[in-house]
Structure 1
């Protein structure tokens, strides 16, 4: 698993990766529904803060987002 710095992706590709992640993640935001664009902005801020990392798995050729903690746990 390889970490991809956000500045290595074009703004369009970064947005697409985040939107894909948000659209497939079933996240409970409590009693109030959170707008899709707000979720995308939240994830983008988490990536910029280093709390979430963009990963690429060369074996499956897939991109995913993980928390920094999750990423550290799977590294050898």
Structure 2
């Protein structure tokens, strides 16, 4: 089930994004990218609609995935 990001408090959304980033352990190559920069990048992707926030009732977890 998709979760509209505008229904979440900003702190909650930020925490979801931070959890996603630290869980994924994304490699940004040769240059170190700060956590804040990564959060801002994911926030931009959510606002532009290239990725969406989804809730999986079976696992009771939230994830960020590419928009189908």
TM-score with structure 2 setting the length = 0.94
Name the CA distance, whole Å, in 2 between partners of 1:24 and 1:36.
12
State the shift of 1:18 in Å. Answer: 0.3
- Aligned residue for 1:26? 25
Do residues 66 (structure 1) and 48 (structure 2) align? no
Larger radius of gyration: 1
Q: Which runs of 5+ in 2 are unaligned?
A: none
TM-score with structure 1 setting the length = 0.85
- Aligned residue for 2:41? 42
How many residue pairs align between the two structures? 68
Q: Secondary structure at the match of 1:30?
A: coil
Give structure 1 regions of 4+ aligned residues with deviation exceeding 2 angstroms: none
Do residues 12 (structure 1) and 33 (structure 2) align? no
Q: Secondary structure at the match of 1:28?
A: coil
Name the CA distance, whole Å, in 2 between partners of 1:67 and 1:8.
19
Q: Which runs of 5+ in 1 are unaligned?
A: none
